[in-house]
Amino acid sequence: MIKQRRMVSFDPETDQYLSDYMKEHHFRFPGDAIARICKEHEEFKNAEENHSISIKESVSKNIESLLKEELRDIRDELNRSERNIQYSLTKNLMEMREYFYQKDDKE
- Residues 47-106 pLDDT 10s: 999 999 999 999 999 999 999 999 999 999 988 888 888 888 898 888 888 887 776 676
Whether the CB-CB separation of 31 and 20 falls below 8 Å is answered with no
Helix (H) / strand (E) containing 91: helix 30-106
Positive or negative torsion for Cα 40, 44, 47, 53: negative
33 CB burial (10 A radius; 0-12, 13-18, 19+) = buried
Q: How far apart are CA 103 and CA 35, in angstroms?
A: 100
Q: What pLDDT, on the 0 to 100 scale, is given for residue 25?
A: 95
Amino acid at 55: I
pLDDT in tens, 32-64: 999 999 999 999 999 999 999 999 999 999 999
Q: Is 10 helix (H, G, I), strand (E, B) or coil?
A: coil
Confidence of residue 6 (pLDDT cuts 50, 70, 90): confident
